[in-house]
Amino acid sequence: MPRRKPDRTSNPASKSNRAWQRMLSGRRLDLLNPSPLDIEIEDIAHGLARVARWNGQTTGNSAFSVAQHCLVVEQISAGLVPDWPDRWKLAALLHDAPEYVIGDLISPFKAAIGLDYRAFEDQLLQAIHVRFGLPPTLPKSIAAKIKRADRVAAYYEAIRLAGFDVEEAERIFSRPRRLPQTLENKLRALAPLAVVDSEARFLQRFHGLLKRMR
């Protein structure tokens, strides 16, 4: 994977025009024109483990993080598609990776913001894909399978953690059908992980998939 030394030089632009974010790795990510060279998995895992799903409106002593949600979606996608290639499992794990920069906006707010937000999110996701050896834009069939897994995760998160009753969750997310029983049992037992645990598990799964892809 391409790497370059962190850019630690000062930014000549004024603070009012700043469109980049300093990462703990030392990278400086241009939000309007993100380069794959400025993306590190440690920054992604660190950020996603500290971003709360459902605007933090979930049960438990810890927030249900985007990092944990990504792990769940990858697990669901693998369960729904036996013998799925590791590269698509990696794509599922990274499906919400842009949120390490932009946070997790709930779907109604994304709709209110409009297409410019979607384009911004897609541009960052494409840079992340390139950084880790995936096609910038996923095949439609693969993206659809990940989207289905995402909705399955949302349904179980809603009824298990976010205070939705079954009828409301079915109306908004649709009730998942024909899930493997072992997978459904795991989803019904969802519980938030501590920040350090969700970050560590995300990194462990990422490196495991990447190693198998090589």
State the greatest distance between any 2 C-alpha atoms of the chain, in Å, as a whole number.
57
Q: What is the pLDDT of residues 135-167, one digit of tens each?
A: 999 999 999 999 999 999 999 999 999 999 999
| Mean per-residue pLDDT, 4-16 | 45
Please state the three-class secondary structure of 112-136 as a single string: HHCHHHHHHHHHHHHHHHHHCCCCC
- Confidence label for 115 from pLDDT (cuts 50, 70 and 90): low
- Confidence label for 38 from pLDDT (cuts 50, 70 and 90): very high
The continuous run of DSSP H or E covering 25 comes out as none
**Residue ranges per structural domain of the chain:** 34-213
Taking each helix axis as running N to C, give the angle between helix 140-160 and helix 86-93, from 0 to 180 degrees, rounded to the nearest 10.
50
Task: Output DSSP code: residue 193.
Answer: P
The predicted model scores a pTM of: 0.88
Q: Which CATH class is domain 34-213?
A: mainly alpha
- Confidence label for 9 from pLDDT (cuts 50, 70 and 90): very low
